[in-house]
Amino acid sequence: MQRNALLAAVLAMLLPVMGYTQTQWQNVLQPEGKPAGKLVVAKNRKPLAMLVCPAKPTPQETKAAEELQHWLQKISDATLPIQAGKTSGRAIVIETDPALGDDGYEISFRRGQLVLGGGVQRGVLNAVFALLEEDLGCRFYTKDSIRLPRTNQLALAPVARRYIPRLKIRDPFYACAFDPVWSLRNRTQSPNARVPEEYGGRVDYADMFVHTAAQILPPDRYFKEQPDYFAQKSDGTRTTAQLCPTHPAVAKIAIAYVRQVLKDNPHTEILSVSKNDNPEICHCERCNKLRDAEGSDMANQLYLVNQVAEAIAPEHPRVAIDTLAYLETIQVPKTMRPRKNVVIRLCNDSVGAWSRPFTPAGRCDVSKLASAWGAAHHRIYVWDYNVNFSHYLAPMPNLDVIAANIRFWIQNNAEGVMLQGGYQGPAERDEMKSWVTAKLLWNPAWDENALATDFIRGHYGKAAPAIEEYEALLAKMRADFAKIMDAPPGGIRYPMDSPFFSLDFVVQATQIFTRARRLALGDETLVRRVERAKLPLLYIKCMRGPEFLADDFPRVVGAFERIARLEHVQFLEEGGPDFERKLAGFKQRIPKTTATP
């Protein structure tokens, strides 16, 4: 440790000479406008104000007061007392306002008191974290990467504002974003981030998230006695691959099943009645007739979904039924429309991101589909794709595309957006992408480049200049290989020997991460963050093998194994755990004349 500290001190003197200076962190979330007032709440570790909830606070109001008390104490060393009921003294008032919907919030001053108002679900908590993040400059980059200001005199002077987010589902869909604490702090609404109901909950699917046909009518229960409940193939035989969505009995069974799920899960807001994940369709006479008349197999799916939605609406007016516009159901039917309590989940798959992952949706085939669905229905949830599913750790410079797409979906009537990334474990730049996209899903007017800089400088600290250099290298790669990356070989599953992963790129990236680690020396936390960020580079090297690296290959495999195990990597591609198998393959490629790393 002494040697590392000495080296860090030497580097601190030498790096400015070498062209590296500590970059200045700025609060890019700072609201525009003049402060609406000023309230001094703590001085010299003593509280000068209290936190006030209603006389009979909701669990959300209580949690909001406790969160604000906790973080203000961390900032000022003063613990503001929490009181239920009104007061005329110096106070921060926390209260629910149904006019703000579910998640909206308002910050204002009233009779000298700072008022944090919020919608009926997580609105008051969103108000608290808006104050902390936007006005005070607190950051919750990851569950364990938290940046707080420190002051001896804490004065709150926020800009008055009222904000209701456009999107009801705001889902980065990376494994690191499923943590409920992180989700609460960063104002995401993800079905997989299990925020407790007493804190406002989440958009809850009750484990009926997607591809639920086999869940609703299990083949092992129904197929033997009622094969006509299932899809008829073009040769007249029946298959368990899909249901027959126009069979009258199928609708009755689906309605009964959904009612039971809602009875067992009273906090459910939405559930999916959707096809299994395969391209099979039903060719029975009813399905063929409806499909031909409407020009899309979505008509058959809506025939079933609308019946379920109509049946549950009187009993559950706040519950929605969703279904997939995906592959054979992607087209809008000519005349059939979803009921008002139906959600269409539009997938940016073969019509966009699967083949053109570095091209904005507005320039892909999905553009016309998004426009058509947005005009046909008022409740569109988008399923987008933002990671290499064959190589979770593959470098993927697509933050600009993600940001452009979020804005594009909202322009086309989207009510929810899910950004499918590395959802099974650590993935390329997953922590940064989760934080940046959480902000964009909340407020698409924020700038993605400024947000990325905020994260890099706040999360990587003194190593940030090198990480920013790596980001610039990724941007240069996009520019240099623009034509190839417009439609890369393999589409979103591009291989690690793609032309843009050139030897020149790998050499430059290696030099950058060597500098990054030197900058981080003396701070074990920063060293670990830098090494985690280096995993994609090591992965490319391991995949390319000793022919690409020659004598350096054993050391690279050893470094990859050490860091990947430290970060609990189990999935290198979508599917079952494959880390151990691929690692064994890397080791087998080490030349036998070389010592084991």
Domain boundary, last residue among 99, 129, 163? 163
Higher pLDDT, 80 or 595: 80
Could you give the percent of the chain with pLDDT greater than 70? 95
- Say whether pLDDT at 265 is over 60: yes
- Say whether pLDDT at 19 is over 60: no
Average pLDDT over residues 238-257: 98
Domain that holds residue 120: 33-163
Q: Domain check: are 99 and 217 in the same one?
A: no
Q: Are 226 and 206 in contact (CB under 8 A)?
A: no
pLDDT score, position 16: 46
- Any domain includes 25: no
3-state secondary structure 441-454: HHCCCCCHHHHHHH
Average model confidence (pLDDT) for the chain?
94
- Any domain includes 558: no
Could you give the percent of the chain with pLDDT greater than 90? 93
- Say whether pLDDT at 597 is over 70: no
pLDDT score, position 569: 98
Q: Domain check: are 110 and 217 in the same one?
A: no
- Say whether pLDDT at 21 is over 80: no
pLDDT score, position 88: 86
pLDDT in tens, 266-293: 999 999 999 999 999 999 999 999 999 9
Average pLDDT over residues 154-172: 97
pLDDT score, position 87: 87
Give the total number of structural domains in the chain: 2
- Any domain includes 266: yes
- The CA distances from residue 559 to 130, 198, 255, 520, in Å, are 40, 44, 54, 17
Q: Has this prediction a pTM greater than 0.75?
A: yes
- Any domain includes 435: no
- Alpha-helical segments (H) within 116-210: 123-130, 180-186
Average pLDDT over residues 439-446: 98
- Any domain includes 108: yes
Domain boundary, last residue among 263, 293, 323? 323
pLDDT tier for residue 17 given thresholds of 50, 70 and 90: very low
- Say whether pLDDT at 519 is over 60: yes
Q: Are 429 and 357 in contact (CB under 8 A)?
A: no
Residues 6+ apart with CB under 8 A from 25: 147, 454, 457, 458
**Angle, CA 104 vertex, CA 99 and CA 105 arms, to 5°:** 90
pLDDT in tens, 369-407: 999 999 999 999 999 999 999 999 999 999 999 999 999
- Any domain includes 188: no
3-state secondary structure 111-139: CCEEEEEECCCCHHHHHHHHHHHHHCCCE
- The CA distances from residue 465 to 258, 373, 431, 458, 515, in Å, are 53, 44, 18, 11, 9
Q: Domain check: are 89 and 211 in the same one?
A: no
- Any domain includes 292: yes
- Say whether pLDDT at 10 is over 60: no
Domain boundary, last residue among 258, 293, 323? 323
Average pLDDT over residues 313-326: 97
User: What CATH number corresponds to the domain at position 90?
Assistant: 3.30.379.10
Q: Domain check: are 122 and 220 in the same one?
A: no
- Any domain includes 494: no
Strand partners, 35: 159
Tokens coding 25 = 């962190």
> Which of 183, 178, 287, 272 is CA-nearest to residue 228?
287
> Which of 94, 101, 86, 100 is CA-nearest to residue 60?
94
Q: Domain check: are 226 and 141 in the same one?
A: no
pLDDT tier for residue 594 given thresholds of 50, 70 and 90: low
pLDDT score, position 549: 79
